[in-house]
Amino acid sequence: MYRKNVYSDQDLRNSLLMDDSRPRSGLDALFDPRSVAVIGATDDPNRIGGRPLRYLKESGFQGELWPVNPRHDQVQGLEAWSDIGEVPGTIDVAIVAVPASRTLRAVEACAERGVGAAVVFTSGFAETDAVGVARQRRMGEIARSSGMRILGPNCLGVYNAATGFFATFATTLDFYRPMPSPVAIVSQSGAYGSHLAMLARRRRIEVGLWVTTGNECDVTVSECIAWMAGRPEIEVVAAYAEGVQDGSALLASLDAARAHRKRVFFTKTGRSEAGAEAVRSHTAALAGVDAVFDSMLAQAGIVRTYDTEEMLDAAYAASFGVLPSNRRVGFLTVSGGAGVMMVDEAAVQGLEVPPMPDAAQRRLKELLSFCTPRNPVDITAQVFNAPHLVGTFLDTMLDEGDYAAIVIFFTYAASVEFMAKPTLDAVAGVRERHPDRLIVMAMIGADEAVARYEALNVPVFEDPVRAVRTVSALVRAREGLARGPGAGAHTGVHPSGRSYTGGRLDEHEALELLASWGIPAVQARVAPSATEAGHAAMTIGSPVAMKILSPDIDHKTEAGGVALDVAAENAAREHDALVARAASYDASAEIRGTLVAPMVSGVECILGMRRDPAFGPVVMVGSGGILAETIDDVSFRKAPIDRAEASRMIAELAVGGVLEGVRGRPRCDIDALARAVAALSRFAAANADTVESVDVNPFVVLPEGEGGMALDALIVGRTTP
């Protein structure tokens, strides 16, 4: 019922995880150093050991530069030192650009010298073979024992454009030199991180802070985000990861980013099993079940983006600083077809496209008889005869339509000479009168024309669909920020909850244990014999559900161990049949009889818990019954959560629409389902050391006000600590 675990093997994972609890130094030395040593520095400015030194010199870095090369007295015109130990003064950062066979010794020498941080370019570590794993393990031990922070190995480095600090050999810097900017990029992959920076530049996004973490023997994407969260000059973070080792650390960093009002857009690969395998072979990262990661970002209130274009579009638009206050979007277009395309995408993205008020529509029609004033507001090519009306239409839409965002589709018309100035003036006036509204242009024009709109704090897109998709990303970013730090956390424990201490539980024992935590269960009776099964059925009343009771048979249906709609007079005979089929299915299984319960009907959901290798105990809710096996409709959260967060989980599900009531069916007791999910999350958190997984399937949700109940439960204990 859960997706297959696609993490790399446990031995590799254990070898790379940081389990030292001693305090860690900050990352100031790494991101904002005053002195830099380059170990392996060369005179050739195009070699890996020569590029960072050249970049630092050309950028006007004001700190001290110390080339380290035992074969030269000078490197690129600077005095060189034969060993890091001979370098005078304080060294904040050492760039390590030597072969893998010499890298560990260089890193050890840096630690002995008291260097604050090391940037290790060299590959040939955990991404290769067992020898590389051992080397990387040792490098992590050096970081933990010395307190020196290590970026990498197998990384492309870091830069801070504001200080001229460029500790990277990325060839993109041969094409342009980054300028200070409120946008930061953090990427596990070096080559892809460099690719992102280049594409960002072409997208007119300056990236002021950039870091690639590589194999993460020490410094992680999570730590980088947390550091960026505390920097007032950084407003937008675009993050790329191939896997997450410590889910709790990631969530803590995202909470910090949200607390400091940063807009974070996160892209993670490894969504498919094939992709996860590629991740393991690339950086030895731990990919994880993608549905869990997706839900963790939702829990953190962070926008997940799924490709480069979507992430950079969102970062670009977010850098203008205006986030829509709600989901209401208006469209002003010169093309009916483009208007339909934008509305279609808005529907896909969950945006609201309410019509203009009737009175406003009448006034707009009087101003421009050929217009379609509903929403999209189509002013057609007739606006060319009255360009002064653009501002009037926009003001009317914002004042009376009360849209939080407006997307204007003017294609190339906004750049045509006789339309360019009046359109720009109209948008400038509206921008001044409505500074809190997001205004987006969808147009084609020269860079100079686009720059004029950007100077008005108006993002520009050529594709109107991308514009709408980006509006959605900004809406979700604003909704995430509105939730505040730590949203969804709940540390309380149900007062009567009993601990799970291990051992095999049959279904009845599992239901009773979960009921003690506040998860209501069907009132079932244990029948050790056929006679007692008959008595139980007569007491409950026809018809009843009967199931085999055994701690050794997890999947009762497969064993022929379930009978539904059993008449009370047939219960004794059905008991014997169930026991016989179960014994035939597994002769070694302990059979404790049958469980007899009333038939219950309602909307079937599944509740669950699993121990995720990265995030620890996570709770799940989704479509239940046979649908749990046939459709992918689940949502996860890191346990524990409160009822409000559980309600958000339910709202994410396709079955949520059924629970709300469809085709004349009554609305279900969604609040009862949310209470059960929150209760299960508390059980999961409190018993994280002993429980591996929980399945409650189905949990039947009754009509509103009538609650819900678990009909079946399976608890699996942990076999390893």
Distance in angstroms (rounded) separating the CA atoms of residues 381 and 667? 48
Residue 437 has pLDDT above 90, yes or no: yes
pLDDT in tens, 2-20: 222 222 333 333 333 333 4
For the beta carbon of residue 129, count every other beta carbon within 10 angstroms: 11
Please name the helix (run of DSSP H) or strand (run of DSSP E) that holds residue 470, with its range, or none. Answer: helix 464-482
- Contacts of 345-354 with C-beta under 8 Å, sequence gap 24+, read 345/465, 345/468, 345/469, 346/468, 346/471, 346/472, 349/468, 349/469, 349/471, 349/472, 350/472, 351/327, 351/468, 351/471, 351/472, 351/475, 352/326, 352/327, 352/328, 353/328, 353/329, 354/328, 354/401
494 has a pLDDT exceeding 60: no
Any idea which of 13-17, 313-317, 525-529, 599-603 has the lowest mean pLDDT? 13-17
Q: Residue range 72-100: average pLDDT?
A: 96
User: Could you give the percent of the chain with pLDDT greater than 90?
Assistant: 81
**How far is it, in rounded angstroms, from Cα 382 to Cα 660?**
45
pLDDT, position 483: 81
3-state helix, strand, coil in the chain (%, to 5): 40, 20, 40
pLDDT tens figures, 371-425: 999 999 999 887 777 888 999 999 999 999 999 999 999 998 888 888 899 999 9
Mean pLDDT of 514-530: 96
pLDDT tens-digit profile of 644-683?
Answer: 999 999 999 989 888 998 777 889 999 999 999 999 999 9
Query: Which residues are CB-neighbours of 332 under 8 A, at least 6 positions away?
Result: 376, 377, 379, 390, 393, 394, 397, 406, 407, 408, 409
Domains 329-482 and 523-598 share a fold: no
CA angle 85, 89, 95 (to 5 degrees): 60
Question: How high is the pLDDT of residue 713?
Answer: 94
3-class SS of residue 502? coil
Which of 281-285, 335-339, 442-446, 683-687 is least confident?
281-285
Token pair in block for residue 239: 């993050």
Indicate the range of 481-495, 501-515, 575-589, 596-610 predicted with least confidence. 481-495
Number of residues written out for the chain: 721
Q: If pLDDT is split at 50, 70 and 90, which confidence band does 587 have? A: very high
| In the predicted structure, residue 491 carries a pLDDT above the cut 80 | no
Strands 117-120 and 149-151: parallel
| 480, pLDDT greater than 60 | yes
Averaged confidence pLDDT in the chain: 90
Residue 433's H or E segment, with its range, is helix 417-433
Quote the pLDDT of residue 626.
Answer: 63
Owner of token pair 């085999």: 548
Q: What's the predicted TM-score (pTM) here?
A: 0.88
Superfamily of 329-482 according to CATH: Succinyl-CoA synthetase domains (3.40.50.261)
Task: Supply the pLDDT for residue 18.
Answer: 37
Grade residue 630 by pLDDT with cuts at 50, 70 and 90: low
As a whole number, mean pLDDT of residues 58-78 equals 96
Task: Name the residue ranges covered by the structural domains of the chain.
Answer: 10-318, 329-482, 523-598, 603-717
- How far apart CA 12 and CA 502 sit, in angstroms, is 27
pLDDT tens across 337-349, in order? 999 999 999 999 9
Position 10 scores a pLDDT of 34
Q: What is the pLDDT of residue 275?
A: 45
Q: How confident is the model at residue 286 (pLDDT cuts 50, 70, 90)?
A: very low
Residue 245: per-residue pLDDT: 85
Cβ–Cβ under 8 Å, residues 471 and 440: yes
Give CA–CA dist 7/245, Å, rounded.
10
Give the H/E segment covering residue 67.
strand 64-68
pLDDT at 78: 97
Where is 16: in which H helix or E strand? helix 10-16
CATH number assigned to the domain covering 10-318: 3.40.50.720
With respect to CATH, is domain 523-598 assigned 3.40.720.10? no
One of 3.30.470.20, 3.30.360.10, 1.10.287.1080, 3.40.640.10 is the CATH number of 603-717, namely 3.30.470.20
Overall average pLDDT of the 623-628 stretch: 73
**Residue 280 reports pLDDT greater than 50:** no
Question: How sure is the predictor about 238, in pLDDT bands with cuts at 50, 70 and 90?
Answer: very high
Q: What is the pLDDT of residue 387?
A: 85
Instruction: Locate the DSSP E strands across 131-173.
Output: 149-151, 157-160, 165-168
| pLDDT tens digits, one per residue of 107-129 | 999 999 999 999 999 999 999 99
